[in-house]
Structure 1
Amino acid sequence: MNFTLALLALAIEAGVGYPDALFRKIGHPSTWLGALIDALDRRLNCEDESFALRRSKGVIALAALLAIAIGAGTLIERAALALPFGWIALAAVSSTLLAQRSLDAHVAAVAEGLTASLEDGRAAVAKIVGRDVSALGAAGVARAAIESLAENFSDGVVAPALWLAVFGLPGALAYKAVNTADSMIGHKSSRYLAFGWAAARCDDLMNYIPSRAAAGLLAAGAFLLKGASPAQALAAARRDAPKHVSPNAGWPEAAAAGALGLELGGPRAYGERRVIQGAILGHGRREATAADIRRALALYRRAAAFLWFMLAIGVLTA
């Protein structure tokens, strides 16, 4: 049943997304989880304590977060399935943990903005990346959008769909909790190096298979996109992903670079003049454009279609 649940949740999210009116009224699971993580951070993360104690408290915070997420997911799942046609309601709830439609819309907005002006492109890409975009040229904006699309295809679509297909709503909600925690406290800053250690390591573990599956799906999508190269997608992923600072993010990013004949990655600037010398992903053209963003979106849509197909096979064979 979980494969059916994941497939229906993907269909609902693709069709209607998460309505803005609903977000304004009650928020979103990510904002609720974020509020909980922030409360745990303020309560437990004391910077005057030892590194070891702060790391232990980070483990406790993550355990509490997972217990709440899994418990809530289990209760919601049982309550929904007790209703007539409750699996449809459960799929609607589960769809809130997926980001197919919103990711497509946000990245398409970067292409539209960059077509209008560099400043519009920077403003649009700033909504989906954490880096400093003020000094990015047009090619840098385009590369940032494509990199974000590839990474979030893994984190926001493939991973939650697979956790949902295997472990149901409790598993998908646990994944979302860990992924949100990693984005908030899984940094190597003085405040979070110890406290966020558990969240970062757990996120690495939970994304290990989905990130590689996302790379494979992008390579599969390249079969259906004129001018894209499935072979180069796989070659770039195998060659360049291990060079990435993240054990997972490099797989879909390198696969997208190879498929599209681009060179992604490289130095990235963040706040407080912090620069990360990121790995170069792919052997291709570095001067990306708004047209390349649109081609990346076409690749993404085909890769998402293969994810649907894979889940449909699961439905038929389960």
Structure 2
Amino acid sequence: MTLCRARNIHRGMRLSHYLLRPVSTACVASVTDAMAGYPQALVSRIGHPVIWIGRLIDGLDRRLNTPERPPTRRRANGFVASAVIVAVPTLAAAALERGIRHVLPRNLSVALTGVLASSLVAQRSLHDHVLAVAQQAQVSLPAARRAVSHIVGRDPEQLDEAGVLRAAIETLAENFSDGIVAPLFWMAAGGLPGAVFYKAANTADSMIGHRTPRHEAFGYAAARLDDLVNLPASRLSALWIILAALSLPGMDARAAVRVLRRDARTHRSPNAGWPEAAMAGALGIRLSGPRAYNGVRVAEPWVGDGTPELSPADLYRALALYRRACLIQTLAGLTATLLLARTARRR
């Protein structure tokens, strides 16, 4: 064996040893969230990590984004705020993870860290919220509008039944990427601090990354950071959806690939278009299209080749595709954990 080859093998073993803990943590978090979610009793008693991060963001917004400041200063303050928003929670998470590692044996520390990190994943809650829309759509349009209002930003009163169902499927696709795949991706790369870093960046974008008079300048840095950190997960989520379509009857994986290649880049979001296009193609439906935000009509291109006139059955099919994509991701994580453990043992 040459010296160069020996060095490469040694580096590979070191990388496997480093990645084993965070990848294992992500697997525990994924399984824990799928089984139990984040109990409502905990939300009532202690809140949720996103709520805690939101309070930090709100405080910085009120202090650094006052109307009397010029736009250039507000944009500069937005960069400072974004740095604080991601640094403070990430450092706190790193300290917590380090403390757990010092107190508990390796396997127990990974298990506990994964359970804590499951609060940053939204598999179960997303499924339940979208399922509620499907169930209420079978009851009445007003009930479906009320259900979808909990998960979309547009005005549900302007939506007919097909519009409500399209909005729910679009939310399902987009949040599969940024609510599930992305936090698990960053968790697998950096453990609990990696997931908290991502969640802080994503929460900042959802709160201040809007093109409104108040946040156009101040939220610029948060919006750009969110685009960057969501880029790998958006591509990965499209892959999981395509693989899910391959394994389910009645789904069209080839159409998912075709629509993805054609329509993802025309979407208003550089990242959301990927899972949305893959899901539209797999289901044989049309998504996106014209919509209204705060009473303002926005012309958006359609995504997909099928009909935009959806029924509750289409939303149930989307949920089946989503569940299979989540399962494939979990199995991929478990496989990676086993391979990393095997490689690390050779060290």
SS in structure 1 of the partner of residue 68 of structure 2? coil
Aligned to 2:248: 225
Unpaired runs of 5+ residues, structure 1, are none
Quote the offset at 1:48 in angstroms.
2.1
Written as runs of structure 1 = structure 2, the 5 A alignment for 1:166-315 is 166-271=189-294, 273-315=295-337
Q: How many aligned residue pairs are there?
A: 317
Quote the offset at 1:141 in angstroms.
0.6
Matched residues in 1 for 2:110 and 2:163: separation?
Answer: 44
Is it true that 1:156 corresponds to 2:179 in the alignment? Answer: yes
Is it true that 1:68 corresponds to 2:91 in the alignment? Answer: no
Q: Which amino acid aligns with 1:102?
A: S
Matched residues in 2 for 1:274 and 1:72: separation?
Answer: 41
Aligned to 1:120: 143
Aligned to 2:112: 89
Unpaired runs of 5+ residues, structure 2, are 1-20, 341-347
Q: Which amino acid aligns with 1:182?
A: D
Tell me which moved more, 105-114 or 73-82.
Answer: 73-82
Quote the offset at 1:312 in angstroms.
1.6
Larger radius of gyration: 2
Quote the offset at 1:191 in angstroms.
0.6
Higher helix share: 2
Quote the offset at 1:286 in angstroms.
0.9
Quote the offset at 1:89 in angstroms.
1.3
Matched residues in 1 for 2:109 and 2:230: separation?
Answer: 29
Written as runs of structure 1 = structure 2, the 5 A alignment for 1:44-63 is 44-63=64-83
Identity of aligned residues (%): 48
Matched residues in 2 for 1:199 and 1:19: separation?
Answer: 29
Matched residues in 1 for 2:299 and 2:157: separation?
Answer: 18
Contact 2:90 2:196 survives alignment (8 Å): yes
1:50-82 residue CA offsets vs partner (Å, 9 max, x unmatched): 221111000000111111021011011112222
1:130-172 residue CA offsets vs partner (Å, 9 max, x unmatched): 1001021110011000000000000100000000001111111
Quote the offset at 1:21 in angstroms.
0.6
Quote the offset at 1:7 in angstroms.
0.5
SS in structure 1 of the partner of residue 299 of structure 2? strand
Quote the offset at 1:316 in angstroms.
2.0
Contact 2:24 2:110 survives alignment (8 Å): no
SS in structure 1 of the partner of residue 103 of structure 2? coil
Quote the offset at 1:86 in angstroms.
2.1
Q: Which amino acid aligns with 1:268?
A: R
Quote the offset at 1:317 in angstroms.
2.3
Quote the offset at 1:276 in angstroms.
2.1
SS in structure 2 of the partner of residue 48 of structure 1? coil
SS in structure 1 of the partner of residue 156 of structure 2? coil
SS in structure 2 of the partner of residue 91 of structure 1? helix
